[in-house]
Amino acid sequence: MTTIQGPTYHPIYDPAASVLRVRGLGAHQPGGGIDLDVCQGEVVVVLGLPTSGKRDLIDVAAGRLALPSGAAKLPESVAVLDAAGTAEQAASDLAGALASRAELIVATEPYRTLDALSQRNYHRQLRAAAAQQGVSVLFATNDVLEAIGLADRIVVLVGQRVFRDVVVRRPGHDVAETAYTYLHALLLSDLGTGPVAVA
């Protein structure tokens, strides 16, 4: 099902074209740690338990945590969305982020206190900004359903490393129902909160 009309930015999933690049975050030995690239116009959702390194990754992307030289490439302009207490605050925060023309929006469960309808509305706005303006989005959540509904790619962090990096949807297409069911079970299994998915 086509969901986007007109000119769009197509994420190319090419590390050479990254807006955000992180290497070796949280590494305890050479070659370890979290490696992540986010391309222009890509919506990447990060899932992970508290010890996974998710918070540190978000803090690096938001410019709140420094890494050694060469371990991170950040865009010149970043907008940060934190948890909103009300729908009005969420609308104001998102409008400000989009008006800033930031290259990257970094979000940490900004809509967790809102009802499902409001969440879907803000997800649509974020996806539209990515598709039409080329804004990149790095979005952290603990909600697997929210992740599937929003992401181009979902990255699961386990023990300070990328455990799974999966493309959810291609530009202009939504998730098929059968794939949605399988992916939901798979991600719950990755997080240790659900059954192992069977192909």
Read off the pLDDT band of 96 (50, 70, 90): very high
pLDDT per residue as tens digits for the range 47-94 = 999 889 999 999 999 999 988 877 889 999 999 999 888 889 999 999
Cα–Cα distances in angstroms (integers) from residue 42 to residues 54, 111, 115, 135, 155, in the given order: 18, 19, 25, 7, 13
Read off the pLDDT band of 1 (50, 70, 90): very low
- Region 163-176: what's the mean pLDDT? 73
Residue 168: pLDDT over 80:
yes
Q: What is the pLDDT of residue 7?
A: 34
pTM of the predicted structure, to 2 decimals: 0.85
Give me the residue label for tokens 């991170």.
72
Name all domains of the chain by residue range, CATH numbers in brackets.
Answer: 16-185 (3.40.50.300)
Residue 129: pLDDT over 80:
yes
Q: Name the phi and psi angles at 157, rounded to 5.
A: -105, 135
- Region 123-135: what's the mean pLDDT? 90
CA atoms of 35 and 38, how far apart (whole Å): 11
Check residues 7 and 100 and name the one with the higher pLDDT. 100
Residues in the chain: 199
pLDDT per residue as tens digits for the range 11-52 = 445 666 789 999 989 876 666 789 999 999 999 999 999 889
